Amino acid sequence: MRLSVVLFLIAISAVLAGSVTIKSLVFPTETSTSYVGMTPKKPMTLNAFTLCMRVATELPGERETILFAYRTSYYDELNVWRELDGSLSFALAGGTVKFQVPPFSALQSHMCITWDSSSGASTVFMDGRKSLTKTYKQGHTIQPNGKVIIGQDPDNYLGEFDGKQSFVGEMCDINMWDSVLSDSTINDLFTGKRVPRGNVLDWETAEFEVQGQAQVVDRELYL
Amino acid sequence: MRLSVVLFLIAISAVLAGSVTIKSLVFPTETSTSYVGMTPKKPMTLNAFTLCMRVATELPGERETILFAYRTSYYDELNVWRELDGSLSFALAGGTVKFQVPPFSALQSHMCITWDSSSGASTVFMDGRKSLTKTYKQGHTIQPNGKVIIGQDPDNYLGEFDGKQSFVGEMCDINMWDSVLSDSTINDLFTGKRVPRGNVLDWETAEFEVQGQAQVVDRELYL
Amino acid sequence: MRLSVVLFLIAISAVLAGSVTIKSLVFPTETSTSYVGMTPKKPMTLNAFTLCMRVATELPGERETILFAYRTSYYDELNVWRELDGSLSFALAGGTVKFQVPPFSALQSHMCITWDSSSGASTVFMDGRKSLTKTYKQGHTIQPNGKVIIGQDPDNYLGEFDGKQSFVGEMCDINMWDSVLSDSTINDLFTGKRVPRGNVLDWETAEFEVQGQAQVVDRELYL
């Protein structure tokens, strides 16, 4: 019986070494109409967050490309950009903080951003590797009751999209938490662990509002 | 005795955490004469394949470089290129499909290509990371009775090599299967697992026809 | 009791899957005055070495940047550079050996250099990936009684720093051995294993001489 406990534990490990299938969003071409809306699980009044996603795009570095947009009636509350100079940036209702990171490519990258209002500490992670820490928007609070848009940058609450800034490629596993996850937890997520689930956005239970040419396909993640 | 079973399992894990030594091909300089021929284990009549290799090269991106060539008397049946624009491409008897990937460097990259005739689905993997899926040559069959050449692009069955397209650097662990391996299997191969062995080309049992300045050296792979 | 042994082993694994906090050096801006001195544990009479560190910098590729300097009264005995062309190089009392590697970025890279006098074999590792092997300074011996400087390139024993070559960014986990570590050991160090400790420089017990604007902060490493 003691051995059976051990074998049970080993069996769990075997399962953990397998793979899971998740939904993935494909944006085949540049448009000003294709996007996917996501509904947060709770009001996005945020004094801290971790936002993660997996991204593959062959768009050249010399193009401003939107990776994530959360907008209320009044403001772009949280936009994530790949900038003209190839850097990764995010903006909280004005201003921006930039990180020089390796370029995105046809290969899928796991990317996370963390921000904490109390210190302003901001970092990005790509494929488990953590960036330098920068200070940005200390004391700020992200406002609730907006809309999360993937694939386009809304210039007002209802739309007005600019195709030149649209996302082209594949994006999945978009999860968001209302706290800063530890480095080791983010590394675990990169390597395929499925917990903790996002308490603001949870990819496994999220419902998508799919518009234009955006498609939802299946993708294997290995653990 | 129950404990001994457990300790046995732990001992296996310890061995798996070790390293193996494999053969590696070094091409020291640009030539039109150095190459290594490999003999497939079965006729290369292929409706699907996975081709993997480990590559290190300091050649600049702005140079067309051959990474793998399989040619019959009539056609370049399967060529893998690093293109002028730094992208990775492969060509099946005419046409080409390109993937924007991170550049090769002095550091060894593990690279795989998968293709399936029934859907035309084509992907590349670098260091375990999977690319976007592209559609290419649906319904095509690769023809048998050709020659596998590493280091040069044969412009006919017997040779006619162009030094400007030759490979310079180190290449090893070239394996090929007549099916599309799963993402998790390819990730396992990247991390050093030695199974499944290639059923078309198997690096561990392959015999090499070494020509010109090409050298065969030993290289440690960690598991 | 047998089970308790097993559970003990599992508990060890859990600890190994955790994280540790280590010291990290931050150089906030370009200066000719900020640096950190480190004292070796033994005289640096070296016929072989492995030198590892974790580096994050947003300095552009087109800038000569010092990563490590060991200088006696007479010579730059060991300098590690990121070169103008973005390559990584090291120099032993004259001459230099260069490796084309992926650029450093805001994301932390684990980097190691190995050199062995008997063969001259020189390699670099980034994030566990090994480079091509080059031959450099066969038969040479690094001389003792110098000074290890992080952040600046001393043009004589007492200083004379050039701000244009200074390091800006974050650096930590600088360890040095008087032998060439195996590929698998270097991969273990990359993934966070804390042994073997450096017998020439050991980050965990090192004392720092902190000058100028250089700061010592804490950083989480996950195992």
Q: Give the up-direction half-sphere exposure of residue A140: CA atoms within 13 A in the CB hemisphere.
A: 19
**Contact residues on chain A for B6, CB-CB shorter than 8 A:** 3, 6
CA dihedral A158, A164, A165, A167 (to 10 degrees): 100
**Contact residues on chain B for A102, CB-CB shorter than 8 A:** 102
- Given a cut of 70, is residue A16 above it in pLDDT? no
CB-based contact, C215 to chain A, within 8 Å: no
Q: Which of A19, A106, A221 sits opposite B101 (nearest CB)?
A: A106
Model ipTM value: 0.84
Q: How confident is the model at residue C62 (pLDDT cuts 50, 70, 90)?
A: confident
- Given a cut of 70, is residue C179 above it in pLDDT? yes
Q: What is the mean pLDDT of chain B?
A: 90
For residues B53-72, give the mean pLDDT. 93
Q: How confident is the model at residue A159 (pLDDT cuts 50, 70, 90)?
A: low
At B20 the pLDDT is 87
CB-based contact, A63 to chain C, within 8 Å: no
At A157 the pLDDT is 65
pLDDT > 90 fraction of chain A, expressed in percent and rounded: 79
Backbone φ and ψ for B189, nearest 5 degrees, come out as: -65, -40
Q: Classify residue A14: in a domain, yes or no.
A: no
Q: Classify residue B26: in a domain, yes or no.
A: yes
CATH code, domain carrying A70? 2.60.120.200
Q: How many structural domains is chain B composed of? A: 1
Contact yes or no for B101 and A102 at CB 8 A? no
Contact A80, A97 (CB under 8 A): no
Contact yes or no for B19 and C125 at CB 8 A? no
Contact yes or no for B222 and C2 at CB 8 A? no
Contact yes or no for B184 and A18 at CB 8 A? yes
E-assigned strands of A155-214? 169-177, 208-211
**Contact residues on chain B for C182, CB-CB shorter than 8 A:** 19, 220, 222
Q: What is the pLDDT of residues A90-139, one digit of tens each?
A: 999 989 999 999 999 999 999 999 999 999 999 999 999 999 999 999 99
Rounded Cα distance, C125 and B4, in Å: 38
CB-based contact, C61 to chain A, within 8 Å: no
Contact A88, A76 (CB under 8 A): no
Closest to C183 measured CA to CA, from B107, A77, A76: B107
**Contact residues on chain B for A106, CB-CB shorter than 8 A:** 99-101, 124, 131-132
Q: What is the mean pLDDT of chain C?
A: 90
At A15 the pLDDT is 44
Rounded Cα distance, C122 and C49, in Å: 10
- Given a cut of 90, is residue C148 above it in pLDDT? yes
**Contact residues on chain A for C221, CB-CB shorter than 8 A:** 183
CB-based contact, A107 to chain B, within 8 Å: yes
**Contact residues on chain C for A5, CB-CB shorter than 8 A:** 3, 6
- Given a cut of 70, is residue B12 above it in pLDDT? no
For residues B153-182, give the mean pLDDT. 90
For residues A158-171, give the mean pLDDT. 89
For residues C16-45, give the mean pLDDT. 90
- Given a cut of 70, is residue B5 above it in pLDDT? no
Q: Classify residue C209: in a domain, yes or no.
A: yes
Q: Taking CA atoms, what residue in C is nearest to A185?
A: C222
Q: Classify residue B10: in a domain, yes or no.
A: no
Q: Rg of the Cα trace of chain B?
A: 18
Q: How confident is the model at residue A158 (pLDDT cuts 50, 70, 90)?
A: low
Q: Report angle CA B20, B24, B29 to the nearest 5 degrees.
A: 155
**Contact residues on chain C for A99, CB-CB shorter than 8 A:** 58, 106
Six token digits for residue C17: 């899957």
**Contact residues on chain A for C192, CB-CB shorter than 8 A:** none
Q: What is the pLDDT of residues A36-93, one digit of tens each?
A: 999 999 999 999 999 999 999 999 878 999 999 999 988 999 999 999 988 999 999 9
Q: Report angle CA A187, A191, A192 to the nearest 5 degrees.
A: 120
Report which residue type is found at B105.
S
CA distance B129 to chain A (A): 6
Contact C220, A187 (CB under 8 A): no
Rounded Cα distance, B2 and B9, in Å: 11
Q: How confident is the model at residue A160 (pLDDT cuts 50, 70, 90)?
A: confident
- Given a cut of 70, is residue A178 above it in pLDDT? yes
Query: Alpha-carbon torsion C185, C190, C192, C195, what sign?
Result: positive
At A7 the pLDDT is 45
For residues C142-171, give the mean pLDDT. 90
Q: What is the mean pLDDT of chain A?
A: 90
Burial class (CB in 10 A: 0-12, 13-18, 19+), A164: exposed
Q: Classify residue A10: in a domain, yes or no.
A: no
Chains in contact with A via at least 3 Cβ–Cβ pairs below 8 Å: B, C
Q: How confident is the model at residue B10 (pLDDT cuts 50, 70, 90)?
A: very low
Q: Which domain holds residue B210?
A: 19-222
At B159 the pLDDT is 65
Strand-strand pairing, B121-126 and B134-135: antiparallel
At B14 the pLDDT is 38
Q: Which of A5, A9, A101 sits opposite C105 (nearest CB)?
A: A101
Q: How confident is the model at residue C94 (pLDDT cuts 50, 70, 90)?
A: confident
Q: What is the pLDDT of residues A182-211, one digit of tens each?
A: 999 999 999 989 999 999 999 999 999 999
Chains in contact with B via at least 3 Cβ–Cβ pairs below 8 Å: A, C
Q: Classify residue A48: in a domain, yes or no.
A: yes
Rounded Cα distance, B216 and A185, in Å: 42
CA dihedral C200, C206, C212, C215 (to 10 degrees): 130
Q: Which of B10, B102, B170 sits opposite C132 (nearest CB)?
A: B170
Three-state DSSP state, C158:
coil
Q: How confident is the model at residue C87 (pLDDT cuts 50, 70, 90)?
A: very high
Q: Classify residue A1: in a domain, yes or no.
A: no
E-assigned strands of B57-108? 65-71, 76-82, 88-91, 97-99
CB-based contact, A113 to chain C, within 8 Å: no
Q: Classify residue A9: in a domain, yes or no.
A: no
Which of A157-161, A176-180, B70-74 shows the highest mean pLDDT?
A176-180
